[in-house]
Amino acid sequence: MMRDVLSIVDLHVSVDGKLILKGVNLEVRRGEIHALMGPNGSGKTTLGLAIMGHPRYQVTQGRIELDGVNLVELEPHERARMGVFIAFQRPVAISGVRLADFLRHAVSDVRNPQRKEGDELVSMREFRKELREKMDQLRMDPEFARRYVNEGFSGGEMKRAEILQMAMLRPRFAILDETDSGLDVDAVRLASQSIAEIGGHEMGLLIITHHERLLEHNPPDFTHVMLGGRIVETGGRELAEFLHSSGYEEIRRKYPEAAAEEASMLAERTR
């Protein structure tokens, strides 16, 4: 059994009866940064949501293992308690729930995996002190915590709220699904800096992105290219730089079968 390794083995995932992932293999060790890149529709977001246990994303074959436990058999909240986190590409609003209250309950659950409904939350004094420190670190106005979760937030505010959640929950493994999407250059730079400050060597990061900018302060140890529902190539930071400057045409020529799968998947979506 390997501890502190998130291991994905021969993962096949269907969404609404359509096979999207077709045999993904990936290992992320704590303290490593992995960039996952690929064209739209290649399966990147599907992989992230399947790891976290979104109910629409059905694992039909393969395993997602952490500490010898097959996460496929666990509910999303149980995966979170084991130290897995996802920052969503499109976070949802939760009307009537203040961000601080949401975070206090989430922190209480993750830090006490045996906690049951009705058990005490983390102490208010301890929570407020840590929340203030993290918001200062992220250069966030304290008033932000009093707002309802994502309600009326700008795109940049939503992404910063996701990074704040990651900072407070301190997961062992974090999946960042296009945290840079919809942000201007300055906002992406701030997000990149914040992720680097929070991640450190205590967290394994899987950064799903189309752009190199989010990797500016988070240089990947490994860059993976997804095409047609599979990871077809792995390299270092230089691969991310190449994809950012040149796109995916060379990858498609190099892996014609995966490129054909990509075209088929895109055609299926447009029907």
The encoded tokens of residue 82 equal 């084991």
Task: Please provide the average confidence, as pLDDT, over all residues in the chain.
Answer: 91
CA atoms within 13 A on the CB side of 268: 15
Per-residue model confidence (pLDDT) at position 43: 93
DSSP the chain: --TTEEEEEEEEEEETTEEEEEEEEEEEETT-EEEEE--TTSSHHHHHHHHHT-TTEEEEEEEEEETTEEGGGS-HHHHHHTTEEEE-SSPPPEEEEEHHHHHHHHHHHHH-TT--TTSPPSPHHHHHHHHHHHHHHTT--GGGGGSEETTT--HHHHHHHHHHHHHHH--SEEEEESTTTT--HHHHHHHHHHHHHHHTTT-EEEEE-S-SGGGSSS--SEEEEEETTEEEEEE-HHHHHHHHHH-SHHHHHH-HHHHHHHHHHHHHHH-
- 264 or 226, which is more confident: 226
Indicate the pLDDT class of residue 216, thresholds 50, 70 and 90: confident
39: closest CA among 206, 243, 267, 184?
243
pLDDT confidence of residue 231: 97
pTM here? 0.92
In this predicted model, what pLDDT tens digit does every residue of 148-189 receive, in sequence order?
999 998 888 888 899 999 999 999 999 999 887 777 788 788
Residue 181, C-beta contacts closer than 8 angstroms, at least 6 positions apart: 89, 155, 210
Average pLDDT over residues 250-270: 87
pLDDT computed for residue 198 by the predictor: 85
| Ordered domains of the chain (ranges, CATH) | 1-79+175-184+208-260 (3.40.50.300), 84-171 (3.40.50.300)
The per-residue pLDDT for 1 is 52
Q: What is the mean pLDDT of residues 209-221?
A: 85
Task: Tell me if 184 sits within 8 A of 176, measured CB to CB.
Answer: no
Rounded to an integer, the average pLDDT of 8-19 is 95
